[in-house]
Structure 1
Amino acid sequence: MATLDTKGREVSYLADIIATCGRKTVLIDIGTSRVAGETKQADGNRQRVGSPAELLKEIAATTRVNVHDLQASGTISAIIGVAGGKGSAAFGEIVSDLPYGFPKLLVSSARPALLAELAVHNDIILYPTLVDLLGINAFTARVLENAGRAIAALHYRPAKAGRNKKIVAITAFGVTTPAANLCIARLAQAGVDTIVFPANGAGGRKMEQLIAAGEFDAVIDLTTTELADEIVGGTASAGPDRLKAASRQLIPQVIAPGAVDMVNFGPPSSVPDQFRGRQFYSHTPYTTLMRTNISENESIGRLTAERLSLAEAPAIVLWPRKGVSDYDRDGGIFRNADADRAWLDAVKNHLGSKIAIRELDCHINDPELAEAAATWILKQLGQGDRDADV
C-alpha cells in the first residue's frame, strides 16, 4: 500500500522482491492524484481504493474498510506500506482495524515522532529509512529488499474460534514486575492463562482495545500508573479510555495503585519547567521519573474511582499500605505514605459502595497482594474456592 503517484517506483521494486520470495501481492493505491505513478502490476492485480479526488484522510477512511474486508476474506495475510509523513499517518489509520498479530510493516521516511505515535496505537513493525524515498538508489534498494523479504516471511494465522482456557489480562511495570510474576504463577497453577501488558501508555491502550474486543475473561490491573501520566502530563498516558473497557465488557477486575507514585518523562532535559524543584529519579538515561505529590495522588484516586464506578460486573480495589512500587517502600527513594494515602482516601470518597476496597498490610510486590488478587479472580471465574476471603 502506498501513494503510487509519488512512490510508484519504490512499490514496483518492492513488489518484485516479494514475488521472488514466492508471495503474491495486491497493490493498493492511496494516492490523491487522478493519474497513478507508473508501477508494475503484481500478478496483473492492482486495486485502487477510494476516490483520487478525495483528500488523503478521506481516502484512508475508505481504504480502512476495504483492507479490513481483504483480511476478513483471507485475500491478504500481511500488509506492507511505503510512505513519507502523510502516507505513514494514513497507513496507521488504515490498518487500525486489523487484528492484533496481523503482520503490518511500514517502510517510512517520516519523522521519528510520528513513527513513535503510530507505535502507541498499533502493533506496526516500523522500518525507518533514515533517507528519503525518492526513487531507487544504493540506499533505498537495501531498505526495500530487506523489507520485502521480511514481509514475505510473515503470515497471519487467525486464532481458532473458542478457547480451552480462561485468559486474564495483567498490567505491569518494572517496579511492579514481582507482583505480576506472582499472579502469573498462581493463575497458571489453576490452569488460567495470562497476558501481561506494560503500563507504558501503548501497553495500556492496547489492553483496553483487546478487552473491548472480548479477548479476556478478567483483568488484574495491578499497575494503574498510566492514570498518573494522564493527570499530571507525563509521557506514558494511555489516553481517556484507560480503565473503562472491563466495565463495559462486564468482566471481573482487580484494581491496584501500582506505580501511581511516579510520572514518566524522557531525558532530564525533557522535563517541563513547571516541575522544577520536584523529586526526580533517573530510571535510565532516557527515562526520568517524578514522584507524585499528595494533590496529584488525590486526583489520580478520584479519576480511578470515577471510571471504576461504571463497573456492573464484580470488581475490587486492593491497596497495599507499605508501598505501591519498588521505589515506594521503607527506605525507598519515593516512599511517601501520606501521598499514597491520598489516593486511597480519594477512591473511598468517590467510589460507590457496591465495589469493595480491601486494605492489605503489605507492599504491592509482596506475595500477600498477588495471592489476594489471584484468589479473588479465580473465584469470579469459577475456578477457585467460593468461600475464599475477599
Structure 2
Amino acid sequence: MAVVIVGTLDTKGEEIGFARDVVESQGVDVHVVDVGVMGDPEIEPDTSAAEVAEAADTTLERLREDADRGEAMTAMGEGAAAVATRLHEAGVLDGVLGLGGSGNTSIATEAMRALPVGVPKLMVSTMASGDTEPYVGAKDVAMMYSVADIEGLNQLSRKVIANAALATVGMVANEPDVEVEDRPTIGITMFGVTTPCVQTAREYLEDRGYETIVFHATGTGGRAMEDLVRQGVIDGVLDVTTTEWADELVGGVLNAGPDRLDAAAETGTPQVVSTGALDMVNFGPRESVPAEFEGRTFHVHNPQVTLMRTTPEENAELGEILAEKLTAATGPTTLALPLGGVSMLDAEGEDFHDPEADAALFEALRKNLGDDVELLELDAAINDDAFAEAIAEQLDEYVREAGLGPEA
C-alpha cells in the first residue's frame, strides 16, 4: 500500500517532506515523484525529475537550457502521467497526493487524470477555489484549497497539509464497503430536459439485469462517458442527450469537444443515439450571453443557466455532424428520432417549440446517415414512455446479440 506524492522538490521540498512524514506515520509507504525543473531537489525523491523528463521523451538538461516555462511544464506533466501510469500498473500506487501552486497543480493533476476512476486523487492547491475544470477534467480528482500559498511551513499550512495527507491515507487504507455486482453496464446521457426519458429507459434496462451509469451532459459528463467506453467499463451506450454538440458548434459553455461520439464508434460498442436537447445551447447568467446572439430565443433555466434555441441552419449542420459520426461506427448503431420534440422545452406550447428547426435536424440526419446505421423514427416526444422504452429495447437487443447481455 503506497501513496505517490507529486511535487516540485526544488521549491516545495520542505512541504512535500512534511506530507511524506505524515503519511508514513500512519504506516503507509510513500513514493515521491519530483517534477521540479529549475533547481536541485531539497529532499531525495524516489523518482527523479530527470526520470520524469525522460518519460516525456526529453531530458531535464534540455528543459532547463532550451525550454520556456510553459514548454517545461507541459513536458513534465506528460512525464508525470507516464510515471503514474507505470507505478499503478506495477501495483505500487494506491493513491496520489499533490501540493502546489498553478504549475505543480497542472502537472500533478495531469498525472491524476491518467489514472482510472476510483484511484484516490487529492490535490492541495492555491487554484482550488477558482475554475477547476482544467485540472479535474472528467476524472474523480478532489481539490482542497490551501488557503495560504504553499511556501514554507506554518501553523496554517501544517494543518492543511496534514489533513490532506491523512485524508489520502484514509482513502487508500480503507476498502469501501460497497456492493459490486457483476452486471453488464450501460452508459446513458441525460439533461434536466430529458430526465423523464432517461428515468424510464434506466428502469427498463435495470429490470432486465443491467447496471446503468447516467452522465450529466455538461461537457465533462460526455467526456467521462467517452473515456469509460474506451476503458471497456461500459458495454452499451444509450446516448439520449447529444446536446453537447450544440454547444461545440455554436459556442456554448457545455461542449465536450470534437471527439464526442467517437468512443463507441471506434470501439464497436453497441449504441443507440438520439437527439436529446439539440434544441438548445447553454450559457451562464443571462448577462453573460455574447452580444452576437441578441435577438435569439432564450429561456432562463435558473440564475446561473441561460438556454438559447438553435436555429434551423444550426440544426441542419448538427444533423450532418451526428450523421458523419454515427456512419463511422464499427459496431451496431441505431439513430432514434423523436418526431414530437427533442426536449421538454421543444414540446408543443413550450418556449423552444420550433417544427422548422426540428425538421431541418431530422432531414439532415436522414440525408447523411450511412446505410449501416439503423434509423428508428417514432411519432412521439423524447420524454414519452413509448420512445424511452423503444430505445432501451433496441439497445438491449444489440448488447445481447453481442454476447454481453445479462444472463437469462
Q: Give per-residue Cα distances to partners, 1:238-294, cap 9 Å, x unaligned.
A: 111101111111122111111111111112232111111222222222221111111
**Matching residue of 2:164:** 147
The offset of 1:114, in angstroms, is 5.4
In 2: Cα distance, 1:379 partner to 1:59 partner: 46
1:316-346 per-position Cα deviation (integer Å, ceiling 9, x unaligned):
1111122111222122222222212211111
The CA distance in 2 between the partners of 1:266 and 1:190, in whole Å, is: 39
Q: 3-state DSSP class of the match of 1:381?
A: helix
The letter for the 1-side match of 2:112 is V
- Alignment match, 1:324: 342
| Contact map agreement 2:326 2:369 (CA 8 A) in 1 | yes
Q: Retained in 2: the 8 A contact 1:217–1:252?
A: yes
Deviation at 1:93, TM superposition (A): 2.2
Conserved 8 A contact 1:120-1:201: no
Matched residue, 2:207 = 189
Partner amino acid for 1:116?
E
- Give the TM-score normalised by the residue count of structure 2: 0.86
Equivalent position to 1:278, from 263, 283, 296: 296
Q: Which residue of 2 aligns with 1:387?
A: none
Distance, in Å, in 2 between the alignment partners of 1:250 and 1:33 is 46
2:20: which partner in 1? 15
Residue 36 (structure 1) aligned to one of 26, 34, 41: 41
Tell me if the contact between 2:100 and 2:124 (Cα under 8 Å) persists in the aligned partners.
yes
SS of match in other structure, 1:36: coil
One-letter code of the match for 2:52?
Answer: G
Partner of 1:135: 152
Secondary structure (helix, strand or coil) at the match of 1:25 reads strand
* Correspondence for 1:360: 378
Select the residue among 265, 280, 295 that pairs with 1:262: 280
Contact 1:291 1:334 (C-alpha < 8 Å) held by counterparts: yes
1:75 is the counterpart of 2:92: yes
Q: Counterparts in 2 of 1:60-209, with a 5 A limit? A: 60-110=77-127, 115-155=132-172, 164-209=182-227
**What residue number does 1:303 align with?**
321
Unaligned runs of 5+ in 2: 1-5, 54-59, 64-71, 403-408
For this pair of structures, how many residues does the alignment match? 376
| Partner of residue 76, structure 2 | 59
Q: Distance in 1 between matches of 2:91 and 2:385?
A: 46
> 2:109, 2:224 → 1: CA distance?
14
Greater Cα offset, 282-291 or 238-247: 282-291
What CA distance in whole angstroms lies between the structure 2 residues aligned with 1:290 and 1:375?
32
2:159 aligned counterpart, secondary structure: helix
Shift of residue 64 of structure 1?
2.0
How many percent identity over aligned positions? 36
- C-alpha contact 1:85 1:114 (8 A) present in aligned 2: no
Q: Which residue does 2:46 correspond to in 1?
A: 46
Q: Partners of 2:85 and 2:139 in 1: how far apart?
A: 15
Question: Residues of 1 paired with 2:76 and 2:136: CA distance?
Answer: 22
How much has 1:59 moved relative to structure 2? 2.6
State the one-letter code of the partner of 2:46: R
Other structure's SS at 2:341 match? coil
- Point out the more displaced range, 319-328 or 196-205: 319-328
How far apart are the structure 2 equivalents of 1:57 and 1:381?
A: 40
Distance in 2, matches of 1:60 and 1:120, equals 14
Instruction: Tell me how far apart the structure 1 counterparts of residues 296 and 157 of structure 2 sit (CA, whole Å).
Output: 46
Report the Cα distance in structure 2 between the residues aligned to 1:180 and 1:3, rounded to whole angstroms: 45
Deviation at residue 228 of structure 1 after TM alignment: 0.4
Equivalent residue number for residue 3 of structure 2: none
What displacement does 1:9 show? 2.1
Kindly indicate whether the alpha-carbon contact (under 8 Å) linking 2:113 and 2:136 is maintained by their aligned counterparts in 1: no
- The verdict on how the C-alpha distance between 1:10 and 1:284 changes in structure 2, with shifts beyond 3 A counting, is farther
Contact kept, 8 Å, 2:267 with 2:330, in 1: the verdict is no
Q: Find the partner of 2:251 among 210, 214, 233.
A: 233
Q: Answer yes or no: is the 8 Å Cα contact 1:92–1:122 preserved in 2.
A: no
SS of aligned partner of 1:168: strand
Deviation at 1:130, TM superposition (A): 4.0
**Matches of 1:146 and 1:287 in 2, distance apart?**
35
Partner amino acid for 1:197?
Answer: F
Conservation of the 8 A alpha-carbon contact between 1:301 and 1:344: yes
| Distance in 2, Cα, partners of 1:20 & 1:295 | 63
The SS at the match of 2:107 is: helix
CA distance in 2, matches of 1:344, 1:114: 37
Question: Does the CA-based 8 Å contact 1:85-1:111 persist in structure 2?
Answer: no
Q: Is the 8 A contact 1:228 1:262 kept in 2?
A: yes
CA distance in 2, matches of 1:150, 1:341: 53
CA separation in 1, counterparts of 2:92 and 2:331?
Answer: 39
- 2:401 and 2:230 map into 1 onto residues whose CA distance is 23
* Unaligned runs of at least 5 residues, structure 1: 385-390
1:50 is paired with a residue whose SS is helix
RMSD (CA atoms) = 2.2
